[in-house]
Structure 1
């Protein structure tokens, strides 16, 4: 690390310690039924007690300090105080967590060095739950408002929740209706980068003590990645409207029923950012892909728009019935989403004057049901039994140009075979599982818990393409091949033998917890996970089976943790060390060049690989490789005085492939792509990172309150840091990133209102956060590639100023 970076890090961390902010784990959990209590100042409590923070990580309410698991918590109060208006910003409160959107359509979650790409069409490595129902990232990331609590659960999940996930889960719980009092809030935010966010909620008792309704709304606008397209003049922007209606019914003390409906409409224009020198990619033309651009230019060069919309309806119903000796819990949900994507596939303008538009329409329908029966014993043994069912369906359609270029000639010359392709891919994913767990309290200090889940998952991934082409007649004297017309030729994109995946697995875990004393608890945990392999829908034809379908993935993990409270519980310290071995980790490798074999006179691949690079697959191949992840996580929270909170978190995750042979790109001495070996792609053995993240991540937050009569001025800080690192996959050296946010404001009497001004990215760090790949388009001649001279990247947002006004009642 350079000395300047060390100096900046020391300066900002010192500022965090000296300044303030209610830490992630320090904000006391307030009652979900009453915003009055959530608005009541926690500063009045002179002693912070970790037991005040209640989590449901184990599917029952427990103190954060008692849960034998590494968990980060963000309460609704914390989210409002820190202006967490985007789900992706939750990563600032959880070290080692990365929530990202690299292309405008692919929301991903990375935790403990393990990542996931939605284009894999497999179960995620980090699962997402909204009100205990698994939900897709495209919907979960689109709107965050009126939230009671967010929990980040680290390590293998599945023993106690509906689906298995190897790296963790993120659970989001919205506020429920208050059956006793009228309550609610209203908040409005505006920033100098054209950002605005207005949200609010009101809870109304319909029958006092028995029936209540809660309504919440959100209107949000922002500039996404802040990138401007230098060719079209368009800028990235996002517009989201959402509403949620909740009903709560408590006919007696033993029954609690909730019904929630959420509507979401999100429309985004996303300009893909590029960096590089630019180029004149075509022979005999002076047309450039664009000028030289750096990360601070925040510019894109595609000649077409990238438009994405999400229209979703989401209904959830839950019932809990305490029947004395047992509690029966029932959960059901229905989600109906329509995702529409309209984007220029030539994001780097590799072929000037050519707009290669792809239109993808993805209906997403999911039904989920779950039943759980849990004992209410006061003795040493408690148990649960559960059954889970989910089914996802819909028919994805895609229309795009799949032209074959005979060299890097100007598009206007017409030296290519025009191909119009229509893709149809029915989706059908069914998951059934049965679970059981037992919890033995041998003594008041020693507890052993284990759970098993039997999963039967079946996924059908058939896909067909229909191709039309007018054919190609070469100019007089040209040596280019003639191609006849193609009329409605239908071909399967996924071979029938690979289209159906069916897997059965037993997963689960066990935990031994020992409470040494009231202030010190240790635990040892084991977890096993499973993910069903998936077919690559849209993978180029005539490729080997290993490129068309990935195998199943399994992993085993062990974790040891210590949770301690010090100085009369004014300080808490949690630390966990873990080791996880992946057997066939499912990776997503984008922008790989391929050779689909000898062509016939229609230009179709019909033979063995011929050594000629035929294209690049931007979405990437699903591929398995063994991997090992090991690391350590620690969080320290403190309340030295009733008006000062501090939290510091660190996560070290060393996730590497273990001598894995994976698809990769090779180039010749001139930098042109080539295929090494006799296969459809080149393969490289690697022990490189399994995610585009450094091993170390740090977070720090603090708040200092200065009560003055009936008002309370305050100043808060939120800082995240990641060091520099090098990536084998993208061949890029990432700089370190230090992001600091500062908030200053005043709260009114009884915390009924609050005004604050803030600055995000105080140091105005403008750094690359992710390199997607080189913007290249190969042709039928390996030495004649359309090279834009750019890399497709994502970067940090520049410095942003804003203000927020909040009212609570």
Structure 2
């Protein structure tokens, strides 16, 4: 394991103690800004959402949207944004195999791949800025005011590549009138320590205020590096032949993450506000381990290096990682991710409406070394055999500008109109050490495979421009029609060369210090450029009817699209200088993916607002789906695989989504979520291998059933109160990766039922609290990422085992 900077922990405890001893005396009104679950009369409070780019009541908004406020987020104590998926129907959250990256799916579309040029069909926006990299979408949930999940294609107002839906996150704004402090300290299973703090300071009361937020999370990891191997079989002479053993059984997969936000809010008049933010993330968590699950007959099983968990064994005890630090891997440094972002949100009320500007710049650097087969290191005389180790490194810069106008015409018609611009540059390299080749084939011209880095680099410059407008006309106080359209211009330029050995770049004169030194912009020999363009209209129409004071009905049609994309793996396993025409054809981008969605819904509040029940039925037709296929290929007479993407599928997904919240008696709040979805391919014939029909295959990341039951009960105790919360969440089995070789090699995320609970003791004003947190109380083992790699191996990541922790917090301030 790498050094985990334990010296940082005492300083954090001192920070938390200092915050807790602040002389402020009364609670700020931040909590009141969140949508309340219960009103003062004992019924349910109003929930305000911004799904239509203006503040509206959830119950008369003709959009399938779920809102999760700060109160729900706090008491459910999620690790990250992905764990909130349990409270949203047909929203499935997992991770990309071998990475701490989000794999979100809604209504049959999601992203399972880490490919840097593929934008996920479920968009994530933080304060209206699009976070395009799945590597940083699993956000820390501290200091979040509200999360809204919009289900289905968002063809007008959130139209950038959202065929599945959008997750919009609104962080807490500075308070112009209150000095406030909020802090939490948590310690729990597998050495988990989390410290989070926020401070609010008015600089010019009523006009200018600052809010600073900082968080740190550390854990030892819940895997053991206990994978075993051998005796190793070699088909050519190898010093590793006959070796056998197991890993060192150390904890692996630990987290080490700092994050911070600095916010400055200026409101010189009621008509104008400007929110300036700076985002900072430094993630040096350990490389993500996993469990080898190779099947009999796969190459790694034949070689004796693909041992799976023994019968009856705990897969978490048999994870594997090589921890190799030479050959450009630097695995002791872990998965290093740094983010620096600056954002400016401005609103100007001109009487007839409000102009809104969203400007942002975000720079992300990722260095992600991994042991892909998840096997323990095989060593001889100090040399570690990397069966298939690789480091994926990328630098990404994103610029975004959105300008929109939301009218306030005081009549039957209002509209939202605007424009969107995003520019992005990505520089990518992957360094691979293919040591297993030394067991089956001769060495490279430059030495053994195990000591010769194999480098694949490419880059992309992209631009997205869109104009949009959506208008709402009230025929009567009860009947409303909304119609909108968006037109998007996408332009992408890809630069790439075929995979080469390091000596081919350096003339055999030496190595390269850092992988990105091999960028296509630094070594231009053999680099090609390919341009892809797409101009697409998308649109939405919705009819809403307030049938009674308590019942709202709506029907919506919407079209969304996801732009074509390049594959960062193109160029692998091809001779340097191979046929240019063939390379260009293989490297070409996919066509845009399209979705046509039809839905009807009912939103109701009954029993004097003690019961809220919302139900949606939907039907989505997807065309030109961008599907990931693992294509078997042969290199030097040996089986290999290459991940390819095609527009080879059309599909239909239909289902229902139900949400209910009830306050049957004062102090008790119950929530229930139910999602059902069923999908099938209408056409799925792959061009490579030609004519391979997968029409009867299951759709990936489409759990048929998902449900959650959640309850919170508040017990007054004089000057104190106790809050009891518990939930049970079920997600059905769903396909993770599709094998083109045999359906028996498909990998699945197994069905799971997770039980979580918390007990909170606080004062009546919520200024101080102590909370006991329990997650996965039945200690369920379940895959959160799984893949098959052609005829080579299969491997999986698993969700955390039982977790028990104690959290203490303070929240107070003064006006």
Q: Which residue of 2 aligns with 1:301?
A: 320
For residue 547 of structure 2, give the secondary structure of its aligned residue in structure 1: strand
Deviates more, 1:645-654 or 1:278-287: 278-287
Which blocks of at least 5 consecutive residues in structure 2 are unaligned?
Answer: 1-26, 228-246, 325-330, 505-521, 575-581, 740-744
Q: Which residue of 1 aligns with 2:171?
A: 174
Residue-by-residue CA offset, 1:64-96 (whole Å, 9 max, x unaligned): 111111111111222121112312211122232
Q: Which residue of 1 aligns with 2:257?
A: 240
Q: Which residue of 1 aligns with 2:371?
A: 344
For residue 284 of structure 2, give the secondary structure of its aligned residue in structure 1: strand
Q: Which residue of 1 aligns with 2:212?
A: 215
Distance 1:174 1:36, change over 3 A: closer
Match of 1:114 among 106, 109, 115: 109
Task: Report the CA distance between 1:234 and its aligned residue.
Answer: 5.0
Task: Report the CA distance between 1:276 and its aligned residue.
Answer: 4.2
Q: Which residue of 1 aligns with 2:515?
A: none
Q: Does 1:257 align with 2:274?
A: yes
Q: Which residue of 2 aligns with 1:433?
A: 466
For residue 706 of structure 1, give the secondary structure of its aligned residue in structure 2: strand
Match of 2:774 among 759, 764, 782: 759
For residue 110 of structure 2, give the secondary structure of its aligned residue in structure 1: coil
Task: Report the CA distance between 1:201 and its aligned residue.
Answer: 0.7
Are 1:351 and 1:410, in contact at CA under 8 Å, matched by a contact in 2?
A: no
Are 1:595 and 1:680, in contact at CA under 8 Å, matched by a contact in 2?
A: no
Q: Which residue of 1 aligns with 2:798?
A: 795
Match of 2:659 among 624, 635, 639: 635
Q: Does 1:323 align with 2:350?
A: yes
Give distance in 2, aligned partners of 1:685 and 1:366: 37
Deviates more, 1:709-718 or 1:351-360: 351-360
For residue 175 of structure 2, give the secondary structure of its aligned residue in structure 1: coil
Distance 1:209 1:415, change over 3 A: closer
Task: Report the CA distance between 1:174 and its aligned residue.
Answer: 0.9
Q: Which residue of 2 aligns with 1:687?
A: 696
Match of 2:137 among 140, 147, 156: 140
For residue 756 of structure 2, give the secondary structure of its aligned residue in structure 1: strand
Distance 1:623 1:613, change over 3 A: farther
Instruction: Describe how 1:270-419 pairs up with structure 2 within 5 A.
Output: 270-276=287-293, 288-290=305-307, 292-293=309-310, 296-298=314-316, 299-304=318-323, 307-348=334-375, 354-355=385-386, 356-401=388-433, 405=437, 408=440
Match of 1:615 among 624, 634, 640: 640
Distance 1:503 1:395, change over 3 A: same
The number of residues matched between the two structures is: 715
Instruction: Describe how 1:658-669 pairs up with structure 2 within 5 A.
Output: 658-662=682-686
Q: Which residue of 1 aligns with 2:710?
A: 701
For residue 694 of structure 2, give the secondary structure of its aligned residue in structure 1: strand
Are 2:756 and 2:774, in contact at CA under 8 Å, matched by a contact in 1?
A: yes
Q: Does 1:532 align with 2:572?
A: no
Match of 1:746 among 761, 768, 772: 761
For residue 462 of structure 1, give the secondary structure of its aligned residue in structure 2: strand
Give distance in 1, aligned partners of 2:566 and 2:689: 17
Distance 1:224 1:513, change over 3 A: farther
Give distance in 1, aligned partners of 2:601 and 2:301: 65
Are 2:91 and 2:106, in contact at CA under 8 Å, matched by a contact in 1?
A: yes
Task: Report the CA distance between 1:269 and its aligned residue.
Answer: 1.6
Q: Does 1:647 align with 2:671?
A: yes
Deviates more, 1:254-263 or 1:214-223: 214-223
Q: Which residue of 1 aligns with 2:649?
A: 625
Are 1:46 and 1:642, in contact at CA under 8 Å, matched by a contact in 2?
A: no
Q: Which residue of 1 aligns with 2:3?
A: none
Match of 1:594 among 619, 627, 633: 633
Task: Report the CA distance between 1:546 and its aligned residue.
Answer: 6.5
For residue 215 of structure 2, give the secondary structure of its aligned residue in structure 1: strand
For residue 448 of structure 1, give the secondary structure of its aligned residue in structure 2: strand
Task: Report the CA distance between 1:509 and its aligned residue.
Answer: 0.5
Q: Which residue of 2 aligns with 1:20?
A: none
Task: Report the CA distance between 1:692 and its aligned residue.
Answer: 3.3
Residue-by-residue CA offset, 1:217-244 (whole Å, 9 max, x unaligned): 1011235663535425351111110111
Task: Report the CA distance between 1:278 and its aligned residue.
Answer: 8.3
For residue 453 of structure 1, give the secondary structure of its aligned residue in structure 2: strand
Give distance in 2, aligned partners of 1:661 and 1:547: 20
Task: Report the CA distance between 1:421 and its aligned residue.
Answer: 3.2
For residue 664 of structure 2, give the secondary structure of its aligned residue in structure 1: strand
Match of 1:522 among 545, 553, 570: 553
Distance 1:546 1:657, change over 3 A: farther
For residue 156 of structure 1, give the secondary structure of its aligned residue in structure 2: coil
Distance 1:555 1:710, change over 3 A: same
Give distance in 2, aligned partners of 1:803 and 1:226: 22
Distance 1:33 1:172, change over 3 A: farther
Task: Report the CA distance between 1:772 and its aligned residue.
Answer: 1.1
Give distance in 2, aligned partners of 1:36 and 1:285: 59
Task: Report the CA distance between 1:707 and its aligned residue.
Answer: 0.7
Deviates more, 1:316-325 or 1:353-362: 353-362
Are 1:142 and 1:266, in contact at CA under 8 Å, matched by a contact in 2?
A: no
Cα RMSD (Å) of the superposition? 3.3
Deviates more, 1:725-734 or 1:550-559: 725-734
Distance 1:92 1:202, change over 3 A: same
Give distance in 2, aligned partners of 1:85 and 1:285: 39
Are 2:292 and 2:373, in contact at CA under 8 Å, matched by a contact in 1?
A: no
Match of 1:723 among 725, 732, 738: 732
Give distance in 1, aligned partners of 2:525 and 2:224: 39
Residue-by-residue CA offset, 1:569-589 (whole Å, 9 max, x unaligned): 100110001111111111223
Give distance in 1, aligned partners of 2:215 and 2:661: 32
Distance 1:416 1:205, change over 3 A: closer
Are 1:219 and 1:241, in contact at CA under 8 Å, matched by a contact in 2?
A: yes
Task: Report the CA distance between 1:529 and its aligned residue.
Answer: 1.0
Match of 1:773 among 768, 788, 806: 788
Task: Report the CA distance between 1:502 and its aligned residue.
Answer: 0.2
Distance 1:415 1:317, change over 3 A: closer
For residue 791 of structure 1, give the secondary structure of its aligned residue in structure 2: strand
Match of 2:617 among 577, 587, 610: 577
Task: Report the CA distance between 1:121 and its aligned residue.
Answer: 1.8
Q: Which residue of 1 aligns with 2:517?
A: none
Q: Which residue of 2 aligns with 1:606?
A: none
Residue-by-residue CA offset, 1:677-729 (whole Å, 9 max, x unaligned): xx657833323232234211001111011112111112111221123467765
Distance 1:489 1:377, change over 3 A: closer
Q: Which residue of 1 aligns with 2:93?
A: 99
Which blocks of at least 5 consecutive residues in structure 1 are unaligned?
Answer: 1-31, 472-487, 597-602, 604-611, 664-678, 778-789
Task: Report the CA distance between 1:335 and its aligned residue.
Answer: 0.3
Task: Report the CA distance between 1:120 and its aligned residue.
Answer: 6.4
Give distance in 2, aligned partners of 1:38 and 1:330: 22
Match of 1:81 among 75, 85, 96: 75
Give distance in 1, aligned partners of 2:697 and 2:300: 37
Give distance in 2, aligned partners of 1:735 and 1:361: 31
Are 2:101 and 2:136, in contact at CA under 8 Å, matched by a contact in 1?
A: no
Q: Which residue of 2 aligns with 1:458?
A: 491
Distance 1:377 1:224, change over 3 A: farther
Residue-by-residue CA offset, 1:120-157 (whole Å, 9 max, x unaligned): 62332100101001013322315332111111110111
Distance 1:80 1:573, change over 3 A: same
Q: Which residue of 1 aligns with 2:19?
A: none
